[in-house]
Amino acid sequence: MGVKERQEREREAVARAILDAARDLFVAEGYQNVSIRKIADRIEYSPAAIYSYFPSKDDIFFALAEEGFHLLFESHSPDEGPGAEPQEPIDRVRAAFWHFYQFSRKHPEYFALMFVDRSVPRITNLRERFSFISSMKERLTGLIAAAVDAGQLPGDSDPHTVFRILSTATMGAAVVRLCNRFSPDEDPDALARDTIEAALAGLRAGIPFSFQSKACGDSPARS
């Protein structure tokens, strides 16, 4: 291994240590309560060393958010096998939101940081860096539109509004599980499945909408 390659690996290792320490501290103490010095103390580096990797605490969050969204948008979760994707549009919609809930189970730290902490910076001004989020939202609303076209959702259903309703229902179930608001004999995964099914049942029954989503509105994350 050459000197340059070794230096690059060492730099990547330090950056990884910074991100891991920051993620754990942000989740445990809240983003606004964590300073660069506190992150530096956790990994036994100086604040100046941290700044040589990330210009600001916000930049550390943006790096973590980018990682988290890429984890969320993986095409299949680890426990899904080849060919597991359902064929019917409505079943693909169901599977997509179940995958979102599973993300909250498998990566609770990222979920808490991305969707629960209200003090994190917004990603609105970094649309180019996070453009893949809009692309994935378009794919999801495309799945919903396909379900409408197939007659599996009412013909006047707005895909963006349906997306908001299903993401809010799923996120609610995920937050309740994350906060451990259950009795010992209650199954949070069963509640999540029932919540998604109840939302889908209402949508398929043609409930009137009082909420209307803007096609170019925010993503279902801190944006």
- Other C-beta atoms closer than 10 Å to the C-beta of 210 total 5
Q: How confident is the model at residue 6 (pLDDT cuts 50, 70, 90)?
A: confident
Model pLDDT, residue 26: 98
Q: Could you give the CA distance from residue 196 to residue 181 in angstroms, rounded to a whole number?
A: 18
Q: In the predicted model, is pLDDT for residue 82 greater than 80? A: no
Model pLDDT, residue 214: 74
SS3 116: helix
- Other C-beta atoms closer than 10 Å to the C-beta of 182 total 12
Q: In the predicted model, is pLDDT for residue 216 greater than 90? A: no
Which helix (H) or strand (E) segment is 12 a member of? helix 3-29
Model pLDDT, residue 127: 87
Q: How confident is the model at residue 84 (pLDDT cuts 50, 70, 90)?
A: low
Q: Could you give the CA distance from residue 183 to residue 190 in angstroms, rounded to a whole number?
A: 13
Q: In the predicted model, is pLDDT for residue 76 greater than 60? A: no
Q: In the predicted model, is pLDDT for residue 79 greater than 90? A: no
Q: In the predicted model, is pLDDT for residue 219 greater than 70? A: no
Model pLDDT, residue 222: 52
Question: Which residues are CB-neighbours of 181 under 8 A, at least 6 positions away?
Answer: none
Model pLDDT, residue 190: 97
Q: Could you give the CA distance from residue 44 to residue 51 in angstroms, rounded to a whole number?
A: 14
Q: Could you give the CA distance from residue 190 to residue 126 in angstroms, rounded to a whole number?
A: 37
- Note the pLDDT tens digit of each residue in 34-64: 999 999 999 999 999 999 999 999 999 999 9
Q: Mean pLDDT, to the nearest integer, of 71-75?
A: 84
Q: In the predicted model, is pLDDT for residue 1 greater than 80? A: no
Q: Could you give the CA distance from residue 147 to residue 128 in angstroms, rounded to a whole number?
A: 30
- Note the pLDDT tens digit of each residue in 126-152: 989 999 999 999 999 999 999 999 999
pTM for the model stands at: 0.88
Nearest in space to 109 (alpha carbons), one of 172, 56, 137, 67: 67
Q: Could you give the CA distance from residue 21 to residue 41 in angstroms, rounded to a whole number?
A: 10
Give the 3-state secondary structure percentages of the chain, helix then strand then coil, rounded to 5: 65, 0, 35
Average pLDDT, the chain: 91
